[in-house]
A = this chain, B = another copy of it.
Amino acid sequence: MSLEHILLGMLHDPSSGYDIKTAFSEGARHFWSAELSQIYPTLKKLEKRGWLKSRTEPSSKGPPRRVYRRNAAGRRELLHWIGAGPQMGTERFAYVAQLCFMHELDNLEATTEFMLELRGKLSDFLTMLLGVESELTGRGQAAIDSLSAEDFHVHLALRMGIHSMRAKVRWCDEALTRIKQRQQPRAVRPRGPDKNPKEVRHG
């Protein structure tokens, strides 16, 4: 809901808009993202409000960089936001809606294909997150114990993405199983004699 506070938080170290965009494309993209065209004006707004200071620095490659630094007022605002308790916004999952409405097709094979494709995407995302985690904590439990306070919190946050993606992949598997069951109900419902000729046993 508010990019402003996200930017304040990401400006722990002085950075340019471009730097922040890069961070969104990498580790931070499991919980937030924004385009440069939104980042630049927002940084300006924060500076006008007195929470940031900027200065231009020459760059070795390309044009000069405008580097923003958070000041005491900006830090106060950030802490205030964090202190207000966990902010849960509305989650919107278009693909869940699509699944809901797929009964209109009345074709369980289409639903299967949909779930398979979704599973692929979710599991790619999970793989990416696991990669980020192993960069952070590579050498097992010992390395986790010796993380800096910052990396410790970043790791906790990353774990949310991992738990959540794993759960969604498992949800896809469960759904695929349920669909199969519904397609061949005889094979799994052992209640009463079933005289149907398509019997699977002793085959």
- Whether a CB of chain B sits under 8 angstroms from the CB of A198 is no
* Residue A73 at the chain B interface, CB threshold 8 Å: no
How many residues of chain A have a CB within 8 Å of chain B?
73
A96 at the interface (CB under 8 A from B): yes
Cβ B82 vs Cβ A98 within 8 A: yes
- Counting CB contacts under 8 A, is A65 at the interface? no
- Which residues on B sit within 8 Å (CB–CB) of A30? 91, 96
- Mark A1-27 against chain B: 1 for CB-CB distance below 8 A, else 0: 110011001001000000000000000
Q: How many copies does the complex hold?
A: 2
Let me know if A130 is at the binding interface, CB within 8 A: no
Give which listed residue, B90, B111, B148, B178, contacts A201 with CB less than 8 A: B148
Task: Given A103-B150, A160-B171, output 7 extra A-B contacts at Cβ < 8 Å.
Answer: A5-B97, A31-B91, A31-B100, A87-B94, A102-B153, A103-B149, A103-B153
- 7 residue pairs from A and B, CB less than 8 Å apart: A5-B94, A31-B92, A32-B97, A99-B157, A111-B156, A156-B175, A163-B167
